[in-house]
Amino acid sequence: MGRRGPCRGAGRASAAGSRDAKDLSDTVEDLFEVVVAVSTAIVGAGLLGVALSGYLFARLNLLQRALLAGAALGMLTPAAGEGILFHWTTDLAGLVLAVAVLLPQWLKKRIGAVDGQVAEKSNQI
């Protein structure tokens, strides 16, 4: 009788299993990159539309329109290469700039709507 070694198929199965896990992890990373690219492109296109039309919650002045156009272009820059211009930092900078321009307008409109409702209720009494 000879010595029995490890099962021949066991080594192949574990190598295939780790390769499948790596492929799955690469697929999840690719899917995440696609979702981020599509979502930032949609937001960037919307911001560019707002910048060109000059209105969202209220009329935008020229500086606000220029800042929103810059934010939109930052979000529309593709992440296709190395360097700071082709990285997620441009998406983040565009988002921060857009929030900095649009948040005060939204809050002003929201406060104005609340004040208007209070004024209407006081007139009814």
Which residues on neighbouring strands pair with residue 59, listed in sequence order?
55
pLDDT at position 74 is 86
In a domain, 76, yes or no: yes
Q: Is residue 5 part of a domain?
A: no
Structure confidence by residue, pLDDT tens digits, 41-69? 899 999 999 999 988 888 889 999 999 99
pLDDT of residue 62: 93
Indicate the number of domains in the chain.
Answer: 1
Question: Could you tell me which of 68, 76, 14 has the C-alpha nearest to residue 45?
Answer: 76
Q: Is residue 3 part of a domain?
A: no
Question: Which span out of 25-29, 103-107, 112-116 was modeled with the highest average pLDDT?
Answer: 103-107
Residue 90 or 50, more confident: 50
4 domain-assigned: no
Query: Mean per-residue pLDDT for 9-25?
Result: 59
Task: Please give the mean pLDDT across all residues of the chain.
Answer: 77
pLDDT in tens, 106-121: 888 888 766 656 545 5
What pLDDT score was predicted for residue 18?
60
In-domain check, residue 18: yes
Answer yes or no: is 38 within a domain. yes
Helix or strand or coil: residue 87?
coil
Assess if residue 119 is contained within a domain: yes
Q: What confidence score (pLDDT) does residue 68 get?
A: 92
Q: Could you list the residue range(s) of the whole structural domain that residue 30 is in?
A: 10-124
Continuous H helices in the chain:
8-53, 62-76, 88-124
pLDDT of residue 75: 87
Q: Is residue 14 part of a domain?
A: yes
